[in-house]
Structures are given as C-alpha cells and as structure tokens.
C-alpha cells in the first residue's frame, strides 16, 4: 500500500521519471537481504524441494535461485516444466502448482525471477530480460542433465507473460500454459492503476502514465514497446494455453483475448467464470490445474489426457 501511495503522490506531482523508476525497481531492492540466503536442507525437505541452486545470468548480471521437484510416482520424468511466479512474489507461491505437475509425472523447475525471492537483480523489464534469463537457466539445466523429455513452461500473471516471451525466443519450449497474462506493459500499467487506485484516471492522465512507462525503460535500459507479448506469441511454434478469469480487474480479460487473437492457430483460450486475479492463482476449484495438466500431457507426452481439454 505504501508503494501505491508513493506512486500516486509522484504521479500527482508530475514526476514521471520517479514514477517510472518505481515501476521497474526490483522488489528485492526494497529488501536487500532477501536474496542472501538459500533454504537449508531441512526446510527444502519440508517443502518437497529435491534440489536448489543458483544460476548466474545476464548481462545485466544476476543470480537466480532454481528449485527442482521430482515426479512423485515415477523414476523417469515424462517431461520437464518450468514454473514462473508473478510480480512481487517468489517461487514459494508456486509450490502447489509445481507439486501438481510433479504428481502428473513431470519434473518441476521453479525459478525466482530476477529481483524476486532468493534471486538478485536490480530492475524489472516486464518479460524482456526475464525471458533471456530463463533461457540461460535452461542452458544450465541441460548442463546438469535436468531437462528430461520435452520442455514446457507454466507461468502466472507476470510469470505468464514472461513464459510467452520465453517461447518467442527459445524453440526448446514445446508447450506453454499462461495463466492471467498481460498482453503489453503499456496497457497493463493503466489497467492496474485504475483498479488499485479507483478514480486515479481523474488525477493522473493516461498520457502521464505512458510518460512514466517511457521513463521506466530509460531506468532499466529496455524498450517498453518490446515488452509486448503480442509479438512474442507470434514468434513461437509452441502451443500456448491461455487461462484467464472473467472477473479479473487487475489484468482485464481483454489481455487474454488479444493474445489469443494474435496467434489463433497456436493458442487456446479458456475463461474461468466468476474468477478474479487472486482467485485464479489459488485455484480453489482445481479447474486451472486440470486444464494445465491436460495441456502438458497432450503436448509433452505420448499419453492422452484423462479428460477432454
């Protein structure tokens, strides 16, 4: 909340550069001790993590924390799935998803994105640098012989958009599940602002928000226009499952529709009724899990999913 109030005050005062800087400041910059420690073996065992290590990526340089969860019912994984979290979160939030995939026979690989969780990094780039980072993580996974079978990626929100960017630059990705993705940074910033700060459009114009987005790119050395997942989804041959809640106010459903329309032959769109951005994350009905599991089973294995997806 303090972050949002600070953003609002900066916007009202006309400080587009300062507001832009906040948009791309990595969460761990506000908590510099967050990335200093790894989980002890006892904690990893409790959480069901079989391996944990760091991978150096960049430039710009960062060290990403990687956690591996092995399949529970088979010795040899039927495939490998990267699991990516949302903004201001960490891979710990994705443990239930990783375990669900492990129960389905996949090796799950969770990654703390740069500047999150136990990973270092100074700036956020809304999918551009993050996808390059994950591609380097895949290199290390291959070196360690941890990519078993076909490779897929599951992401939610910020991680979902990063997943699409990753598929657009790395043809080793053979299937994507993107839950509640945003289509472009320039669109999601106003959407998010209007939701968390009702009435903000009367105080901060869209033009001013776009000036702040421009400033964010200058701060983090990236082009915000290139953060559009609409371009990335057209550059991959991997099948992409897009799952979105009909009642998502933080990232409105039109983002999912635009992504599907950008690549209708290579994507499938599933709307979950009466579901918002937070509810789809926790997936109380298990509907998201069923769709995701069936999608990866269909595209990463020779098996047929138990139910039609």
For residue 168, what pLDDT is reported?
Answer: 98
Torsion of CA 114, 67, 30, 252, to 10 degrees: 70
pLDDT in tens, 170-216: 999 999 999 999 999 999 988 877 776 666 556 677 788 888 899 99
What Rg value do the Cα atoms of the chain yield, rounded?
A: 19
Token readout for 54 is 């760091």
User: Binning pLDDT at 50, 70 and 90, where does residue 1 land?
Assistant: very low
**E-state strands within 58-205:** 62-69, 79-84, 106-111, 151-156, 173-179
pLDDT in tens, 83-119: 999 999 999 999 999 999 999 999 999 999 999 999 9
pLDDT in tens, 235-280: 999 999 999 999 999 999 999 999 999 999 999 999 999 999 999 9
For residue 2, what pLDDT is reported?
Answer: 43
CB 88 within 8 A of CB 150: no
User: What is the DSSP secondary structure assignment for residue 304, as one 8-state letter?
Assistant: P
Is pLDDT above 60 for 305? no
**E-state strands within 98-253:** 106-111, 151-156, 173-179, 240-245
Q: Look up the CATH superfamily of 2-300.
A: Alpha/Beta hydrolase fold, catalytic domain (3.40.50.1820)
User: Binning pLDDT at 50, 70 and 90, where does residue 308 land?
Assistant: very low
Token readout for 4 is 């949002």
Domain boundaries, the chain: 2-300
CA distance 217 to 48: 38
Strand partners, 56: 63
216, 197, 130, 218: which is closest to 170 by C-alpha?
A: 130
Q: How far is CA 138 from CA 60, 222, 297, in A?
A: 18, 23, 20
CB 229 within 8 A of CB 267: no
């Amino acid at each position: 909340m303090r972050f949002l109030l600070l953003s609002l005050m900066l916007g009202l005062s006309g400080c587009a550069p300062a507001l832009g800087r906040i948009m791309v400041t990595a969460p761990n910059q506000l908590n510099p001790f967050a990335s200093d420690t790894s989980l002890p073996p006892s904690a990893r065992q409790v959480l069901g993590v079989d391996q944990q290590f760091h991978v150096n990526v960049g430039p710009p340089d960062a060290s990403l924390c990687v956690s591996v969860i092995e399949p529970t019912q088979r010795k040899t994984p039927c495939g490998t799935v990267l699991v990516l979290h949302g903004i201001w979160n960490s891979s710990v939030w994705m443990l239930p998803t990783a375990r669900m995939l492990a129960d389905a026979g996949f090796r799950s690989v969770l990654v703390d994105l740069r500047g999150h969780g136990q990973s270092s990094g100074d700036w956020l780039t809304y999918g551009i640098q993050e996808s390059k980072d994950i591609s380097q993580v895949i290199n290390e996974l291959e070196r360690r012989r941890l990519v078993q079978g076909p490779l897929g990626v599951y992401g939610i929100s910020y991680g979902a958009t990063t997943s699409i960017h990753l598929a657009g630059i790395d043809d080793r990705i053979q299937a994507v599940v993107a839950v509640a993705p945003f289509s472009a940074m320039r669109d999601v910033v106003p959407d998010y602002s209007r939701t968390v700060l009702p009435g903000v459009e009367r105080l901060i114009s869209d033009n001013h928000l776009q000036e702040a987005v421009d400033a964010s790119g200058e701060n983090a050395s990236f082009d915000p226009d290139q953060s559009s997942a609409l371009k990335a989804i057209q550059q991959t041959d991997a099948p992409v499952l897009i799952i979105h809640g009909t009642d998502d106010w933080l990232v409105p459903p039109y983002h999912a529709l635009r992504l599907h329309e950008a690549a209708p032959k290579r994507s499938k769109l599933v709307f979950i009724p009466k579901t918002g951005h937070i509810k789809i994350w926790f997936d109380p009905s298990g509907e998201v899990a069923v769709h995701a599991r069936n999608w990866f089973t269909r595209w990463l294995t020779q098996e047929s999913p138990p139910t039609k997806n």
